[in-house]
Homo-oligomer: A and B are copies of this chain.
Amino acid sequence: MAKRLEIVAIERLPEIQPGDDLAGLIHAACEAEYPLTDGDVVVVSQKVVSKAENRLVKVDPDDPMSHKPLVLAEAKRVLRRRGDLLITETAHGYVCANAGIDRSNVAVDIAALLPEDCDRSARRLRDALNHRLGSHVAVIVADTFGRPWRRGVTDVALGCAGILPILDLRGTPDATGRVLHVTEVCIVDELASAAELVRGKSSGVAVAVVRGVDPAWFGSGSVVGDVVRSYEDDLFR
């Protein structure tokens, strides 16, 4: 178990353009600010991944609703509507507002779609970073989602590579020796939330590094495979 974590914002990533070598730019920014080392978890905003992967669509800058047809095209299911807000299930299986499409931190005539496969995006970034570094880091692609029951948004993982998405403690004893029955902790969501605390929404900081995680958390798995609940398995859809 990690006893001390450090979470650091990487502030000087340049504005990302379609086709940019995102891993190279993240590597360079980290080298300048907080050089990466074995065991670091690099949390990257979905927005810059979408930009690098050219998941950008032109919209009418004068119409705040001009991205709505994209929402309906990207949504597999619309679960709820309230005014302009659609709570959707995406093709990936994420449940979020407006199919994850948003217009913040992009040009006024652009809407950013989610990456096609955020786990694959994370794997590519992880592989490219490790190739450059000659070390082992993990990557989480994070975005900001609302949730039922509770007001306010928090960051969650959309994709990951090099880290176990869920820490499975079933069968391990608690501090009193009792076996924990139902404790599977979604550490990638907790890491995404932790990183948001230094990335912020208004500052446009796209990358944060979490240092000090338990080496036992490094491993394989995917958010879509391990975290996203299926429609059939969910009690609230």
* Chain A positions near chain B (C-beta within 8 angstroms): 1-9, 11, 80, 82, 87, 94-95, 97, 103-108, 144, 147-156, 165-166, 169, 172-176, 178, 180, 182-187, 189-191, 193-194, 196-198, 200-205, 213, 226-229, 234-237
Contacts and interface: CB of A to CB of B under 8 A. Distances in A.
A214 B103 CA distance: 26
A213 B229 contact: no
In the A-B complex, the 4 residue pairs with the closest CB atoms: A175-B204, A152-B186, A194-B194, A190-B193
Contacts of A107: 176
16 contacts: A4-B7, A5-B198, A6-B7, A7-B7, A104-B178, A105-B176, A150-B156, A150-B229, A151-B184, A152-B166, A152-B227, A153-B183, A155-B190, A183-B202, A194-B194, A194-B197
A177 B197 CA distance: 21
B6 A154 contact: no
B180 A201 contact: yes
Contact of A80 (B144, B151, B226, B236): B236
Contact of A196 (B105, B144, B154, B185): B185
